Amino acid sequence: MDKFEFIATSTFGLESVVKREIIDLGFENIKTSDGAISFTSNISAVPKANIWLRSADRVLVVIGRFKAETFEELFENTKALPWSDWIPKNGNFTVSGKSVKSKLFSIPDCQSIVEKAVVESLKKKYNVNWFEKNGAKYKIQVSILKDTAILTLDTTGPSLNKRGYRQSSVTAPLKETLAHALIALSFWKKDRILLDPVCGSGTIPIETALKAKNIAPGILRKFVSENWDIIPQKLWKEERKNAYGKIDVNLKLEIYASDIDSKAIENAKHNASLAGVDDCIYFKVQPFEEIKLMDDYGICICNPPYAERIGTINEIEKLYRQMGNKFNKNKTWSVYVITSCEEFEKLYGRKADKKRKLFNGNIKTDYYQFFGTRP
Ligand SMILES: C[S@@+](CC[C@H](N)C(=O)[O-])C[C@H]1O[C@@H](n2cnc3c(N)ncnc32)[C@H](O)[C@@H]1O
């Protein structure tokens, strides 16, 4: 089978998590750059990567890569690429673009040149002058970095964080892909208790349960490339069947999720049931200060309110102090908190063992990590 180059895109800061996932899926020739992890595989990577990647945003297939310092170079090199291998006569294609530190900096011009070049290439191949564009969707992207153009097709469609289970959410829910990364960056293991005491719509507990039970995050949803002729339908069917077969249905988990807001807990329960993990998460309406740490060696991973988003400063500072008071008394617990509050360690009353810069949407945050003693 032919080999292709793919790019899994990720939020800035999550590249190492996505790279680990790509290694675990068995792909080869992995290279990492800012927000992009490239790898090679045959076409079966499209269903596999889309259905299984937990922290990537989307999966692109690279159609070509070349030097482009002039519009002519961009046009001729784009035209020479094998577009008709991918896009059928009635393919509904669009072009988006970006350019960084390059001579060709006008994005609208680059987009329109790429579109013209693709049209010319397809016209020649299909021997037609007019395309109806009423078939499957193809999103071409031209990205020019330091005068090198990469032409890709998006195989994903709506971003991979849209798993399909989050029908209801609270204010400021975490992206599912980031929630998974918080778990992957922690010391949590299947046999440890997980607590999210400010769970909102339940994203962290649900992603934990999906990961632990080996439920593929994309198992419930569709991808734009499922309508592409180049990918045999049987590859999608086989990957889904394989994914269903890999679910650990008998795994017992201890995941506790609570929130002060009863509406949030109602939403979280509903989402967990859609995700098929409501049997292993214990939900409760409970203000943080009433939480009792019954067992030792638990792991708390949470996304409390930040000033920019919800709650008043006083309420938020009080909550951060309460968190420190509770967890600092039990040295066996490990606590992981994502927040944009720069005063967090001061309010929590302890310096983090590790901090990692992450973006939650456009908000710059830190992922504060307080390690408990080992069991
Ligand atoms: C940023 S949201 C969490 C979003 C969640 N990670 C998600 O993906 O939906 C913060 C949550 O903290 C809850 N909260 C605020 N103060 C609280 C307190 N004192 N005790 C428990 N929950 C609290 C809010 O009700 C809100 O749902």
Provide the whole-model pTM: 0.95
Q: Give per-residue burial for 136-163: e unless 16+ CB within 10 Å, then b.
A: bebbbbbbbeebebbbbbbbbbeebbbb
- pLDDT for the residue numbered 168: 73
Q: Quick check: CB of 136 below 6 Å from ligand 1?
A: no
- pLDDT for the residue numbered 321: 97
- pLDDT for the residue numbered 311: 58
- pLDDT for the residue numbered 312: 79
| Per-residue pLDDT tens digits for 148-200 | 999 999 999 999 999 999 987 677 899 999 999 999 999 999 999 999 999 99
Q: Quick check: CB of 304 below 6 Å from ligand 1?
A: yes
**What are the CA-CA distances from residue 165 to residues 81, 174, 274 (Å)?**
38, 14, 5
CB-CB contact of 333 with 296 (8 Å): yes
Which residues constitute the domain of residue 208? Answer: 176-216+235-370
- Cα-to-centroid distance, 170 and ligand 1 (Å): 8
Total domain count for the chain?
2
Residue 49 covered by a domain: yes
**Closest atom, ligand 1, to C-alpha of 306:** 1
Q: Quick check: CB of 16 below 6 Å from ligand 1?
A: no
Q: Quick check: CB of 172 below 6 Å from ligand 1?
A: yes
- pLDDT for the residue numbered 313: 80
Q: CA 99 to CA 105: how far, in whole Å?
A: 6
Q: Quick check: CB of 235 below 6 Å from ligand 1?
A: no
- pLDDT for the residue numbered 307: 65
**Closest atom, ligand 1, to C-alpha of 302:** 6
Domain boundary among 124, 154, 184: 154
- Cα-to-centroid distance, 261 and ligand 1 (Å): 8
Claim to verify: residue 66 and residue 114 sit in the same structural domain: yes
Claim to verify: residue 208 and residue 109 sit in the same structural domain: no
Claim to verify: residue 278 and residue 189 sit in the same structural domain: yes
Tokens 């500072």 belong to residue: 317
- pLDDT for the residue numbered 190: 95
Q: Quick check: CB of 264 below 6 Å from ligand 1?
A: yes
CB-CB contact of 254 with 193 (8 Å): yes
Claim to verify: residue 181 and residue 149 sit in the same structural domain: no
- Cα-to-centroid distance, 297 and ligand 1 (Å): 23
Query: Residue 75 is encoded by which pair of tokens?
Result: 């046009």
CB-CB contact of 237 with 303 (8 Å): no
- Which positions of the chain have pLDDT values less than 70? 169, 307-311
**Closest atom, ligand 1, to C-alpha of 170:** 9
- Cα-to-centroid distance, 326 and ligand 1 (Å): 17
- Cα-to-centroid distance, 201 and ligand 1 (Å): 9
Claim to verify: residue 306 and residue 189 sit in the same structural domain: yes
Q: Quick check: CB of 182 below 6 Å from ligand 1?
A: no
CATH code for position 289: 3.40.50.150
CATH code for position 102: 3.30.2130.30
Which residue has a Cα nearest atom 3 of ligand 1? 200
**Closest atom, ligand 1, to C-alpha of 203:** 8
Claim to verify: residue 359 and residue 284 sit in the same structural domain: yes
Domain boundary among 154, 188, 207: 154
Residue 166 covered by a domain: no
The residue to mutate among 182, 198, 309, having the most atoms of ligand 1 within 8 angstroms of its beta carbon, is: 198
266 three-class SS: helix
Claim to verify: residue 293 and residue 145 sit in the same structural domain: no
Q: CA 164 to CA 218: how far, in whole Å?
A: 8
- Cα-to-centroid distance, 349 and ligand 1 (Å): 21
Q: Quick check: CB of 276 below 6 Å from ligand 1?
A: no
Residue 212 covered by a domain: yes
Ordered alpha helix ranges (H), 276-370? 313-327, 344-348
Claim to verify: residue 110 and residue 206 sit in the same structural domain: no
Residue 78 covered by a domain: yes
Which residue has a Cα nearest atom 26 of ligand 1? 200
Residue 248 covered by a domain: yes
Residue 196 covered by a domain: yes
CB-CB contact of 60 with 153 (8 Å): yes
Q: CA 118 to CA 192: how far, in whole Å?
A: 53
Residue 161 covered by a domain: no
